[in-house]
Amino acid sequence: MSKGFASNYRIVLLGAGLLTCFGVLGVRLIRLHVIDRERLLGTIAKVRLQLIPETARRGDILDARGARLATSHSEIILGVDPHSLLPKDRKKWPQLAALLGLTEAELHEKFTPKYREPARPAPVAAVTSPVAPPPAESGPLFHFNVTPAAAVAACDSAGGAGGPEAADGGPGLIPDQFAELKSDVSESLHERINSLNIRGVYGRRVYRRVYPSNQLAAHLIGYVNRQQEAAAGIEAYADFYLRGQPGWRVGERDGRNRELPQFGLREVPRVDGYNVMLSINSTVQDIVEQELAALAQQFEPLKASIIVSDPDGFILALANYPSFNLNEYNKVPKDEEARMRNVAVADIYDPGSVFKIIPAAAALEERLVTPLTVLDCAVEKVTHKGRALTLPGEDHRMGRLTVSEIISHSSNRGAAQLGIMLGEERLYRYARAFGFGTKLGFPVGGEVSGILNSPKNWYPIDITRIPMGHSISSTVLQMHQAMSVIAAGGVLLRPQLIRKIRDAGNETVYQYDRTEIGRAVSAETAAKVAVMLTGVTKKGGTAVEAAIEGFDVAGKTGTSQKFLNGEWSKKHHIASFVGFFPATRPKVIISVIVDDADHKAPGGVAYGRTVAAPSFKRIGERLIPILEIKSDFAATRPGLIARHEGGLR
């Protein structure tokens, strides 16, 4: 009888083989799931499981008409995982190097696998020490101990796979899986690089800040640095709205940096930043910056500032000379960094005769005088609180002048007598009410308070000097807002720069409105001062150079000496003209302040009427069609005269 096809020997041999296979498999499984479990799970977490960030797009900064003053362009940070490179792709390396503008040697260096030591725990602090000392060495340590040839050999032996089976940098070291190739790759260049299909080369999308108009409104907009941190201006002030909220995902990527969605664990979507719409009108801002460039060319001043605003306190333009290009903020030489400061709000100066509007308005408000009250401006000394005080000198001889003429002729002695009538406390109180000696709440530029000492700290002579704008220091913005009090009917307004905050759907999230700080004088007093200020730009006034045909212009000149080397200089002045028009229904307030233009000024002295007033006129004339300022000269003039005459009585 047959014993079958298989002998006992064969059956035993087959059984033994099967048992051996199962035994080997069992040992392997025990090794993977028990002995090496922690090590392998750690490797998977370090090598495959990734926190994939999703950068939020920073919101735009827009002008009042929606033109972009700051925006974000997407760029690619291109990198390589040297441990994922394949030897078959090496022939494409020269093409990649050419696209990136690198030499082949430089590319080889970046393709060299690198290893770092794992993060070491900080030493345990002693029980008596509340804070553990920092480790002796901090940060990852990189080991450049693998040559490009070894990298290719590693790819040959390991098939290009990353992880512990790849070329080893040494016991306990972790492979560094990212080396930056180029930080500012455009989308189009990234597409060309992707077409090479080099495994291990991948990009991460980020957003870079771009300023389309270069230096336009530079001191207002500010900038975002290379670390994507808002460093100044509206960029910093409104960063909460602009920056958005980055998103992230926990998932895995393959060797070509392709995300594997089937292994995704959790996702938090990004939220792009809001857009910030300013009150700035780019056309007006450009006109102002052109005028500053013309002033710089003609007079070569140390610095200059121009501000344009509307009667509700919203800034239409603010610019300083010198300035800088926002796209090249990091190229400004260290010894020229002062050009990056917003001097209109961060620097102070003696406002000079423009300040005379304060004692005039205060004396009218207190009913101490009317516009027709006559004062002797030839007198040299007066008695105040039992003390004889010498009045300031005049630029030319003046006799008996009405209060209106004191303003139109800019009499120092007349202003001093108005200050004495008011007394120290009332003069100080009105100066504060007009915004001097305090911050106005301007959102950008490092605003300072200026200098307005308490009356208890005044010298006896100060009551005759402060009314003419000496012994007091202000910012350009403060003087601008003080003139705006007259244009706004007696109310001090907070200077505003932001109009609206809008979301990605262009819906308004928040809107800024006219904000009153407080009432300085009555509307009636403001109207009287406005009429008096029109005399400055008419025949016999100190600034006929600021007159605009067809409009009544209200304004005031200023020419203040600079305090240098412990004394008042006769060769260095600050020239200014601050005003508004039309006088009875103001549409625009303009301030022009030019610092130290004497060496190029006519006669060697930079007067407000010769340096600043012509700029006011040129800017005003260009704004008429842009802001649609209507001329009603014929209708307005009788009204002005009637109100003026009413005030005289």
For residues 260 and 398, state if they share a domain: no
Residue 83 per-residue DSSP state: G
Task: Give residue 242's identity as a one-letter amino acid code.
Answer: L
For residues 498 and 522, state if they share a domain: yes
Q: Is the peptide bond before 614 cis (omega within 30 degrees of 0)?
A: no
Q: pLDDT of 324-369, one tens digit each?
A: 999 999 999 999 999 999 999 999 999 999 999 999 999 999 999 9
Return mean pLDDT, the chain: 85
For residues 312 and 205, state if they share a domain: no
Q: pLDDT of 475-489, one tens digit each?
A: 999 999 999 999 999
Domain assignment present for residue 158? The answer is no
Can you tell me the distance from the alpha carbon of 613 to that of 557, in angstroms, rounded to the nearest whole number? Answer: 7
Find the CATH number of the domain harbouring 523.
Answer: 3.40.710.10
Q: pLDDT of 252-287, one tens digit each?
A: 655 455 555 555 567 788 899 999 999 999 999 999
Find the CATH number of the domain harbouring 261.
Answer: 3.90.1310.10
Domain assignment present for residue 24? The answer is no
Higher pLDDT pick, 198 / 522? 522
For residues 315 and 381, state if they share a domain: yes
- pLDDT of 641 over the 50 cut: no
Domain assignment present for residue 3? The answer is no
For residues 416 and 534, state if they share a domain: yes
How confident is residue 157, by pLDDT bands cut at 50, 70 and 90?
Answer: very low
Nearest to 590 by CA among 611, 619, 570, 562: 619
| Helix, strand or coil, per DSSP, at residue 68 | strand
Mean pLDDT over residues 408-415, rounded? 96
Residue 108: predicted pLDDT: 87
Nearest to 412 by CA among 461, 455, 449: 461
How confident is residue 565, by pLDDT bands cut at 50, 70 and 90?
Answer: confident
For residues 424 and 447, state if they share a domain: yes
Mean pLDDT over residues 40-66, rounded? 74
- pLDDT of 218 over the 70 cut: yes
Mean pLDDT over residues 309-322, rounded? 98
Q: pLDDT of 100-126, one tens digit each?
A: 998 988 888 888 888 777 766 655 444
Domain assignment present for residue 135? The answer is no
For residues 271 and 286, state if they share a domain: no
Residue 313: predicted pLDDT: 97
| Helix, strand or coil, per DSSP, at residue 243 | coil
For residues 453 and 396, state if they share a domain: yes
Q: Is the peptide bond before 467 cis (omega within 30 degrees of 0)?
A: no
Residue 646: predicted pLDDT: 38
Lowest mean pLDDT among 50-54, 63-67, 428-432, 573-577: 50-54
Domain that holds residue 633: 282-328+343-648
**Which residue(s) pair with 402 in the sheet?**
374
Residue 635: predicted pLDDT: 42
Domain assignment present for residue 552? The answer is yes
Task: Give residue 429's identity as a one-letter amino acid code.
Answer: R
Domain assignment present for residue 622? The answer is yes
Residue 187: predicted pLDDT: 84
Query: Whole-model pTM above 0.85?
Result: no
Residue 124: predicted pLDDT: 46
Choose from 48-57, 127-136, 235-244, 560-569 the range with maximum mean pLDDT.
Answer: 235-244
Can you tell me the distance from the alpha carbon of 560 to that of 545, in angstroms, rounded to the nearest whole number? Answer: 19
Residue 506 per-residue DSSP state: S
For residues 254 and 301, state if they share a domain: no
For residues 429 and 536, state if they share a domain: yes
Q: Which of 278, 297, 320 is the last residue of a domain?
A: 278
Choose from 119-133, 470-484, 634-648 the range with maximum mean pLDDT.
Answer: 470-484
Domain assignment present for residue 619? The answer is yes
- Number of domains within the chain: 2
Residues of the chain with pLDDT > 90, as a percent, come to 60
For residues 548 and 421, state if they share a domain: yes
Q: Which of 278, 297, 319 is the last residue of a domain?
A: 278
For residues 256 and 296, state if they share a domain: no
Residue 581 per-residue DSSP state: E
- pLDDT of 134 over the 70 cut: no
Domain assignment present for residue 188? The answer is yes
Nearest to 175 by CA among 148, 140, 150: 140
